């Protein structure tokens, strides 16, 4: 007992007396920390410091405050934004013929371009004081989503000026003079912008761009001024072939010291009129057969004045941080909008098609193999809308959450890819044969675009989500890194000492918290709600603890090697991502008023998220280099094993059935999907057949009963069966007519386009008349 008391007293002295603690504990740890500290370049530091930490910080720290999540306001359109949706957007959609745009015109028609300019579609993010719409992020997202269900090419055209580009960069960083000149011109469509970042040797690694601007003197407007001699070669630049103003990212150098002692100033952004001497644009790429404008821009030793730098000369070398912060718009608004639109279109049409298409006398939606795929489509569609609204809502709250938007970009585009693949499998030949009646083909073609842009998905998952999240979201690591990097060693040690004590307490809390929740399977964790979703809050809290614990051990054991262990860090990123996705689903369920009809979708989404969390943890434990640590931590987090499972069949079937039943739930799930009222609208065709088939169900039941009773033969051709049913007065003339009209609609919904000999070869010629007939 006395020995234990002595140990306690000694420990208290060591930990409690600052000088002793610093010399015996903090100083050695500090030296080790500096050795294992991952080297951080200036661009990495700027990326780490850019943006803000939002809900992901709660998830990463092991104790998410669910009341905070519920307290976020539900994003909603203003009256003005809703009016724009109901009028200008609907007018635009009626003007679009996506088949002609993609296969015949290879461009939006002139009247569409004019309408987009006139009605301010390119000015949604620009303040009203400059002639713009000043719409919210949720409005921007909703408008792009709605357009995308009609035409992906049109949606991308609208999306880009309202995403990463001159407009947003000017808003945040432009000088007043730059704003006063450019923003009104962008608002009224006088100028069409593009932004050039990617080049042949620099894609996702934007810090490697070879394009350069050399500070020098030159002539501009008849005067000698200080400026830049720019040389660049860019590709994959959306709107470049039609742009009138070019945003350009380049590395800035001052070899003669005209601006000061710094020779390499870093990445810089400038705004250049396309008609400026030496600027080359106009060449087009052909991105997966889509018709949106995309191409190249080049320039060799093009002189511009320093005033053309976005933000003016004071923002020289600050372009990387500008870009990282503004990328949140593309990752958090535009690409999630495209992914959600794709899913809602697939859910609406695949549910309808699965009723209309019959095999062996049954609608194919009755077969369990189809139901499994339909369940994925429905569950992921619900999830995607939850993520879209929550992420856009964060931006409307004034946040710029770089980790959250990276999660949204990667996982939403990947979920969208799953959905379109399942939809294509169910549609089979109907989805494969291109033509005016095909509503899936262009979405399928366009899926790799979203996967690729704004940081390729492989990079986003393996380097960004956890790479930034571990440092930014952790309550102490980034501050510890700054302390270790402090040139004043004594002050750095002092700062580190205070952080270390807090970090140890944080880690100990997560260790014992994870052990308790693991042993009790999270049953005693608190939940902010009761009912069927309470268990999900408890499990997410448990997994949040586990993530915090595994992250600390990973950074402690692997140090600087962690960012090179991409498969390890990506799995931890997957855990963080699924925690965020699950949070968005629960938030949507609460914000929508806990609709009973939503529960199958909530169960599907949550069970899938938990399964993926368990799968990611399992891969982490199996592959962590230090086997002793891996086994110990696994026993702490999952003492009884990992038992999360994918949704049960009954949940999957409930979701599938909801897609094949007309009503409020289906309408809410796919509220962004455009259904044209024109006779030849492809989505309208399958939708009308679907509704008609449900309307005749009572009549079909009469025929089935008659067959069971032996009054009608079971395998009569359709027309002969109707004649026999009329003759025996099983159905009325009106009912027979209704069945015939429904069957005509059904066959039209199943039909695909075929072309006359030579017609496809001449499809691009406007003079060629295209005569098509539909075949079942």
Which positions are catalytic? 454
Helix (H, G, I), strand (E, B) or coil at 281: coil
Residues 2, 20: Cα–Cα separation, whole Å: 23
Residues 612, 579: Cα–Cα separation, whole Å: 10
Which residues on neighbouring strands pair with residue 303, listed in sequence order?
229
Residues 683, 600: Cα–Cα separation, whole Å: 26
Question: First CA to last CA across the chain, in angstroms?
Answer: 89
Structure tokens, 638: 């999952």
Query: 608 with 647: CB under 8 angstroms?
Result: yes
**Distance (Å) of CA 717 to CA 243, 693, 695:** 59, 18, 21
DSSP E strands: which ranges in 584-642?
A: none
The size of the chain, in residues, is 776
Structure tokens, 95: 């003007």
Residues 77, 79: Cα–Cα separation, whole Å: 7
Structure tokens, 136: 């919210």
- DSSP assignments along 206-228, one per residue: GGG---EEEEEEEEETTEEEEEE
**Distance (Å) of CA 542 to CA 50, 80, 441, 477, 539:** 29, 43, 42, 22, 5
Q: For residue 24, is it left (φ>0), alpha (ψ between -120 and 50) or beta?
A: alpha
- Residue in this structure with the two tokens 């599907």, named with its chain if needed: 604
Query: 331 with 409: CB under 8 angstroms?
Result: yes
Query: 59 with 546: CB under 8 angstroms?
Result: no
Other Cβ atoms within 10 Å of 546 Cβ, number: 25
Residues 564, 271: Cα–Cα separation, whole Å: 36
Helix (H, G, I), strand (E, B) or coil at 755: strand
**Pairing of β 223-238 and β 294-305:** antiparallel
Residues 374, 422: Cα–Cα separation, whole Å: 7
**Pairing of β 772-775 and β 245-253:** unpaired
**Pairing of β 245-253 and β 358-359:** unpaired
Query: 334 with 163: CB under 8 angstroms?
Result: yes
């Amino acid at each position: 007992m006395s020995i234990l008391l002595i140990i306690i007293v000694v420990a208290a002295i060591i930990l409690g007396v600052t000088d002793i603690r610093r010399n015996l504990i903090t100083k050695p740890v500090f030296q080790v920390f500096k050795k294992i500290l991952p080297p951080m370049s200036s661009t990495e530091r700027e990326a780490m410091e850019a943006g803000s930490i939002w809900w992901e910080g709660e998830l990463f720290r092991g104790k998410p405050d669910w009341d905070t999540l519920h307290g976020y306001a539900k994003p909603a359109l203003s009256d003005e934004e809703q009016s724009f949706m109901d009028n200008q957007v609907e007018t635009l959609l009626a003007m679009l013929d996506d088949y002609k745009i993609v296969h015949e015109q290879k461009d939006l028609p002139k009247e569409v371009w004019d309408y987009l300019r006139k009605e301010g579609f390119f000015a949604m993010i620009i303040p009203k004081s400059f002639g713009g719409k000043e719409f919210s992020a949720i409005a921007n997202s909703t408008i792009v989503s709605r357009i995308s269900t009609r035409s992906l090419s049109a949606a991308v055209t609208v999306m880009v000026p309202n995403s990463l580009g001159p407009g947003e960069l000017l808003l945040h960083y432009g000088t007043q003079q730059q704003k006063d000149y450019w923003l009104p011109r962008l608002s009224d469509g006088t100028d069409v912008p593009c932004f050039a970042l990617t080049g042949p040797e620099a894609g996702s690694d934007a810090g490697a761009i070879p394009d350069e601007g050399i500070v020098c003197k030159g002539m501009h407007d008849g005067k000698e001024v200080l400026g830049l001699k720019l040389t660049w070669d860019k590709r994959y630049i959306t709107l470049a072939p039609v742009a009138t103003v070019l945003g350009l990212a380049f590395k800035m150098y001052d070899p003669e010291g005209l601006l000061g002692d710094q020779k390499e100033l870093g990445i810089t952004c400038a705004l250049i009129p396309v008609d400026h001497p030496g600027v080359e644009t106009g060449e087009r790429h052909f991105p997966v057969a889509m018709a949106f404008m995309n191409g190249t821009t080049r320039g060799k030793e093009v002189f511009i004045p320093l005033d053309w730098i976005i933000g003016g000369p004071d923002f020289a070398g600050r372009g990387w941080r500008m870009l990282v912060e503004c990328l949140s718009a593309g990752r958090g608004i535009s690409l999630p909008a495209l992914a959600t639109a794709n899913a809602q279109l697939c859910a609406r049409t695949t549910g309808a098609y699965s009723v209309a298409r019959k095999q062996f006398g049954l609608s194919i939606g009755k077969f369990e193999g189809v139901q499994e795929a339909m369940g994925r489509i429905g569950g992921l569609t619900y999830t995607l809308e939850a993520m879209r609204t929550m992420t856009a809502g964060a931006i409307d709250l004034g946040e710029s959450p770089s980790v959250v938007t990276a999660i949204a970009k990667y996982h939403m585009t990947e979920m969208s890819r799953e959905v379109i693949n399942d939809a294509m499998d169910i549609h089979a030949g109907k989805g494969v044969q291109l033509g005016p009646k095909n509503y899936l083909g262009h979405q399928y073609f366009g899926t790799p675009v979203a996967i690729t842009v704004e940081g390729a998905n492989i990079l986003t998952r393996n380097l960004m989500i956890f790479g930034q999240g571990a440092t930014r979201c952790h309550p102490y690591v980034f501050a510890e890194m700054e302390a270790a990097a402090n040139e004043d060693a004594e002050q750095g040690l002092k700062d580190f000492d205070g952080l270390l004590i807090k970090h140890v307490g944080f880690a100990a809390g997560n260790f014992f918290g994870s052990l308790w929740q693991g042993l009790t399977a999270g049953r005693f964790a608190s939940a902010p709600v009761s009912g069927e979703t309470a268990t999900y809050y408890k499990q997410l809290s448990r997994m949040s603890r586990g993530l915090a614990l595994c992250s600390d051990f990973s950074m402690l054991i692997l140090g600087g090697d962690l960012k090179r262990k991409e498969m390890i860090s990506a799995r931890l990123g997957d855990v963080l991502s699924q925690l965020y996705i699950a949070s968005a689903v629960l938030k949507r369920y609460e914000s929508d008023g806990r609709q009973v009809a939503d529960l199958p979708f909530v169960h599907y989404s949550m069970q899938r998220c938990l399964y993926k969390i368990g799968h990611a943890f399992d891969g982490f434990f199996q592959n962590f280099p230090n086997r002793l640590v891996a086994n110990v931590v696994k026993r702490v987090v999952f003492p009884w094993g990992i038992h999360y499972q994918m949704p049960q069949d009954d949940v999957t079937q409930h979701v599938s059935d909801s897609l094949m039943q007309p009503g409020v739930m289906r309408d809410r799930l796919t509220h962004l999907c455009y259904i044209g009222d024109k006779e030849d609208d492809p989505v309208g065709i399958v939708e009308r057949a679907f509704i008609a088939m449900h309307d005749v169900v009572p009549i079909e039941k009469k025929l089935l009963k008659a067959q069971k009773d032996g009054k009608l033969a079971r395998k009569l051709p359709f027309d002969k069966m109707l004649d026999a049913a009329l003759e025996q007065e099983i159905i009325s003339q009106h009912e027979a007519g209704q069945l015939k009209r429904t069957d005509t609609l059904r066959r039209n919904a199943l039909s695909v386009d075929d072309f006359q000999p030579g017609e496809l070869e001449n499809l691009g010629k406007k003079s060629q008349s295209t005569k098509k007939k539909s075949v079942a």
